[in-house]
Amino acid sequence: MPQLGFGVFQVPDDEAESAVTAALAAGYRSIDTAQAYGNEEGVGRALASSGLPREDLFITTKLWNSASTAWTRDAVLREFDASLARLGLDRLDLYLIHWPRPMRDDYLTVLRAFAEIPRERLRAFGVSNFTPAHLRRLKDETGIVPALNQIELHPYFQQTETRAADEELGVVTEAWSPLGQGKGLLDDPVIASVAGKHGVTPAQAVLRWHLQLGNVVIPKSVTPSRIRENLDVFGFELDGDDMTAFAGLDRDGRVGPHPDEFDAG
């Protein structure tokens, strides 16, 4: 999959079409959506009107938490079909369980159902917001190792432990909110200084840091100039001093919920 993709969290369905169209025009080929974002149809319209060959695109969506107590196998398989239909696709590249919800104790059922989906309809499946304990339980009790773990990860929340567990198990780490949702992180003076040294923007410096760590990233923007800016990160390289400066920014800067506690649906 492309190491840098485009995320559409909190983009309403009607705006998703224009944002994804701008992203595809800028050169992005990987799009990250979710059933819970309510914009799979808008994403699908942009994909259809792009004229791009299907094999050039890498499309990810996610299974949302069930409103009932726990997912069943059949309900998971029905929901996968419904996401594909909303996207207007007959094959998905990556399907993720959105949250582990350990209090519902259903993620083993969900992942076993994902593993049943034929490869011609689903190229790969993975997880999101899994801690090392969730990953190890999944592997120990089902033998399933997901292709990828999409987790909150940015310079103020570097997730050293989960990244190490992903690596040990052979799971790709993908960073959600890679820019820390833009707020204070992009005003950080250390990041400004690294960015200034390379003549790039703070967002570009942060994205470059992710790429050099080996993370897959899916920054979001609905502003065409920023959409292009966020992809233009392959013409410079951070040096050892820059990477050390970024390492020093780590703190308990989580912006989303804790995976052991979150249970919406």
| Strand bridging mode 172-176 / 216-217 | parallel
Rounded to the nearest 10°, the torsion over CA 101, 136, 71, 114 is 130
Phi, psi (deg, nearest 5) at residue 38: 65, 20
> How many Å is the maximal CA-CA distance in the chain?
54
Return the SS3 of 177.
coil
Min separation Cβ 86 and ligand NAD, Å? 16
Q: According to the binding rule CB under 6 A, does residue 129 interact with ligand NAD?
A: yes
Stretch that binds ligand NAD, among 49-57, 101-109, 212-220, 242-250 (CB under 6 A): 212-220
Residue of 42, 102, 146, 180 that binds ligand NAD (CB under 6 A) = 180
Min separation Cβ 120 and ligand NAD, Å? 25
Is 107 in the active site? no
Residues 102-121 contacting ligand NAD, CB under 6 A: none
Residue-wise burial string across 33-66, b where 16 or more C-beta atoms lie within 10 A, e elsewhere: bbbbbbbbbbbbbbbeebeeeeeebbbbbbbbbb
Set 37, 95, 107, 156: catalytic member:
37
Min separation Cβ 229 and ligand NAD, Å? 5
Residue of 181, 212, 213, 253 that binds ligand NAD (CB under 6 A) = 181
Stretch that binds ligand NAD, among 1-9, 46-54, 159-167, 232-240 (CB under 6 A): 1-9
Residues 220-259 contacting ligand NAD, CB under 6 A: 220-221, 226, 229-230, 256
The enclosing H or E element of 94 equals strand 92-97
List, in sequence order, every residue forming a beta bridge with 95; answer none if it has no partner: 61, 125
Phi, psi (deg, nearest 5) at residue 218: -140, 65
Q: Do 175 and 210 form a contact (C-beta atoms < 8 A)?
A: yes
Min separation Cβ 106 and ligand NAD, Å? 17
Min separation Cβ 251 and ligand NAD, Å? 16
Q: Which lies closer to ligand NAD via its Cβ, residue 193 or residue 241?
A: 193
Residue of 150, 158, 159, 162 that binds ligand NAD (CB under 6 A) = 150
Q: Look at phi and psi of residue 200 and say left if phi exceeds 0, alpha if psi is from -120 to 50, else beta.
A: beta
Q: Do 39 and 62 form a contact (C-beta atoms < 8 A)?
A: no
Q: According to the binding rule CB under 6 A, does residue 218 interact with ligand NAD?
A: yes
Rounded to the nearest 10°, the torsion over CA 10, 15, 19, 21 is 140
Residues 17-76 contacting ligand NAD, CB under 6 A: 32
Min separation Cβ 174 and ligand NAD, Å? 8
Residues 185-204 contacting ligand NAD, CB under 6 A: 186, 201, 203
Q: According to the binding rule CB under 6 A, does residue 178 interact with ligand NAD?
A: yes
* 182 Cβ neighbours under 8 A, 6+ residues apart: 203
Which residues form the catalytic set?
37
Interface positions with ligand NAD (CB under 6 A): 7-9, 32, 98, 128-129, 150, 176-182, 186, 201, 203, 218-221, 226, 229-230, 256
